[in-house]
Amino acid sequence: MKSKKTLVLLVLLILIAIFFVFDLGRFFSLAFIKEQQGNFSAVYEQRPALVTAAFFAVYVLITALSLPGAAIMTLAGGASFGLVWGTVVVSFASTIGATLAMLAARYLLRDSIEGRFGKKLDEVNKGIEKEGGFYLFTLRLVPLIPFFALNLLMGLTKMKTWTYFWVSQLGMFAGTVAYVNAGTEIAKITSLRSILSPGLLGSFVLLGLLPLVIKKMLDYVKRRKVYARWNSVKPKTFDRNLVVIGGGAGGLVSAYIAAAVKAKVTLIEAHKMGGDCLNYGCVPSKALIKSAKLAHQMKHGTRYGLADAQPVFSFKAVMQRIHAVIAAIEPHDSVERYTGLGVEVLQGYAKIVNPWTVEIALNDGVKQTLTTRSIVIAAGAQPFVPPLPGIRDVGYVTSDTLWDEFAKLDDIPKRIVVLGGGPIGCELAQSFQRLGAQVTQVEMAPRIMIREDEEVSALAKASLQADGVQVLTGHKALRCEKSEESKAIIVEHQGQEIRIEFDALLCAVGRVARLTGYGLEDLGIPTNRTVTTNEYLETIYPNIFAAGDVAGPFQFTHTAAHQAWYAAVNALFGTFKKFKVDYSVIPWATFIDPEVARVGLNEQEAKEKGIAYEMVKYGLDDLDRAIADSEAHGFVKVLTVPGKDKILGATIVGTHAGDLLAEYVLAMKHGLGMNKILGTIHTYPTLAEANKYAAGEWKRAHQPKKLLEWVAKYHNWTRG
């Protein structure tokens, strides 16, 4: 295959060289065409078919090789064949030549370009697959854009050849007619500039805008179609600008933004304001982790020059502290706060009855109906409970219910089985083990934290095991059994069934979006694990949006808030300008000890996507502050573009990794590279210096060795 490509490239280069070496360009000048017009017309009258075929072949060759002269050939076509036949000949010749140029670029260049810029091209190809024909048509209408460059660039995409051909044929037709028509008056033309008069250029610009107008019309037709069955119930006026369903992070931020820009907004929440993060997720779990870590440090006091001490505590008091933390943060997300900000907060269950109407069954039994221009669905997610036989008989808790259920206990359950090896399962397994339970963690996959690099998973597993957690990877849960004496879960590993008895079963195998109960089915809004949205977070109804866990693809509080900005702004101002949600830099962290934090690509993902990278790694066992804190374990690992300091992703394992990651999030968001991090002063002694030292590792790996050899010679010379 490589030899064939080399041969094709060689042939193309020879043809291009012949054109320039023998100065064939002189035959494609305006002066030559005008001089030879009479002779050409005489030959054409004698042998029209042969002349047409020769002209056609030369035109195809010129455009296929991207040589200068296509514009002159178009004029010559008009001068020789007239407007109608000239347009036919030139139109097909130019399209065939353009298609051949595109195919040549695809054959010779695409594989190597994909190997280097695979991820970026994937995004381009997604756009090409969706609306490539439309954009190509738009670009073809404007002759100011070099067509030869367009041919070469489109060859790097995965646009179908037939699509490229017919779209180019249509897109170039208007410009072809204009040039061929000018060619019929070739005697009056003194230069190519005289063709491109301000009036003609203005016409081309208007032609370029035509596809945008057509797209707007098509969008209007689509909207008419999707709203057709609801037209009879569309209100003439609206009670609200925006109704938000769900009082978690996505809903709160959406409502906040709407109120900040003085829109009339109603937020509807059936249960607790603050959603999962405040009440069941981020806040209580981090409060638990803090208590568990302190107990762990007390047990290992000798690491700090103190005596080991067995912590004495009441488990009930630990759980009470967690609820006190929730209560202390609650005012940030309270009804009173948001009412004060200008948001109407209704507590009850919302149901969308048509694209502009929401019915609310208030918690006090009253029903209320609101009409609204736009709706944001931010209903969140809930824990997934696997359908294991017997699981309801033995009883279980989830990350939602354990905080209330365990708060009723005087002592921690002695034996806890945690189903799931993801971030939630790992955090809770380690914390309860440190507080005195014997925890067994069951994960069906071959390793815990499967989305992280293998070395990260291995380090996390070792950390949990060091605390006493029994981590069972590659174990599949089969069923639960209950007797008068015990409760147990039966798991399968390498063909063998294993019985694990427990006092409490915690399901932490993931969360699923809340998709039922608020009208999606009646409106026909499609769902596939999450509410299906486009890049603007619109559902099939352009005035109904989704944000947060219910929309995916990430289930993080910070991404819910991030999406909420796009949903609210597009809902309120989308008539004028819509914004595509940006997922290019998404950080996340797992708060086990040591913490695991990541942004962008890790090695596992880069290999899966075929993205070339360089990796540098700095071990925290070398960092002064980590040593002083007896936290000298973990690392900072950064992936960069080969030969450049552009950051593709960073993974940090160590104490306060979630905080340290912020520097890389900022750098990636604003296009700052490793050199900028290295050139930034970091306070000594701090953990943040790890980021600077990682940048130093990158710099050492990219030293200009030849230059330094000459510098060494210079210094030797200066010493005499």
- Confidence band (pLDDT; 50, 70, 90) for 601? very high
Q: What is the model's pLDDT at position 336?
A: 95
**Is the alpha carbon torsion for 435, 437, 438, 444 positive or negative?**
negative
All CATH 3.50.50.60 domain ranges in the chain, comma separated? 240-383+513-573, 410-505
**Residues 331-348: pLDDT tens digits?**
999 999 999 999 999 999
Three-state DSSP class for 22?
coil
On the question of pLDDT at 232 being above 60, the answer is yes
Q: What is the model's pLDDT at position 295?
A: 97
**Residues 420-450: pLDDT tens digits?**
999 999 999 999 999 999 999 999 999 999 9
On the question of pLDDT at 200 being above 50, the answer is no
- CA 524 → CA 220, 370, 520, 536, 550, distances in Å? 19, 20, 6, 19, 16
Whole-angstrom distance, CA of residue 242 vs CA of residue 370: 10
Q: What is the model's pLDDT at position 208?
A: 52
Amino acid at the residue 567 = A
Cα angle 273-274-275, degrees, rounded to a multiple of 5: 95
Query: What dotted CATH number matches 594-705?
Result: 3.30.390.30
**CATH of range 410-505; options 3.40.50.1980, 3.40.50.1820, 3.50.50.60, 3.90.1150.10:** 3.50.50.60
Q: What is the model's pLDDT at position 412?
A: 97
Higher per-residue confidence, 466 vs 704: 466
74 near 94, Cβ under 8 Å? yes
Considering the chain, what percentage of its residues have pLDDT values greater than 70?
88
Tokens in use for 173? 């037709």
**Residues 265-307: pLDDT tens digits?**
999 999 999 999 999 999 999 999 999 999 999 999 999 999 9
Average pLDDT over residues 174-178: 75
Can you state the angle between helices 48-64 and 83-140, rounded to 10 degrees? 20
What average pLDDT does the chain have?
88
**Is the alpha carbon torsion for 417, 419, 420, 424 positive or negative?**
negative
**Residues 70-129: pLDDT tens digits?**
777 777 777 778 888 888 888 898 889 888 888 888 888 777 776 666 666 676 677 677
Tokens in use for 498? 């294993």
- Confidence band (pLDDT; 50, 70, 90) for 42? confident
Quote the CATH superfamily of domain 240-383+513-573.
FAD/NAD(P)-binding domain (3.50.50.60)
Three-state DSSP class for 594?
coil
Whole-angstrom distance, CA of residue 97 vs CA of residue 60: 4
Long-range contacts of 199-208 (CB under 8 A, 24+ apart): 201/144, 203/178, 204/141, 204/142, 204/143, 204/144, 204/174, 204/175, 204/178, 205/142, 207/141, 207/142, 207/174, 207/175, 208/138, 208/141, 208/142
Whole-angstrom distance, CA of residue 295 vs CA of residue 53: 89
Whole-angstrom distance, CA of residue 651 vs CA of residue 443: 23
Amino acid at the residue 322 = I
Long-range contacts of 41-49 (CB under 8 A, 24+ apart): 41/80, 44/80, 44/81
All CATH 3.30.390.30 domain ranges in the chain, comma separated? 594-705
**Residues 607-663: pLDDT tens digits?**
999 999 999 999 999 999 999 999 999 999 999 999 999 999 999 999 999 999 999
Whole-angstrom distance, CA of residue 240 vs CA of residue 265: 6
How far, in whole angstroms, is CA 136 from its chain's centroid? 24
| Strand order from edge to edge, sheet including 504-507 | 397-398, 504-507, 415-419, 438-443, 470-473
Average pLDDT over residues 384-392: 95
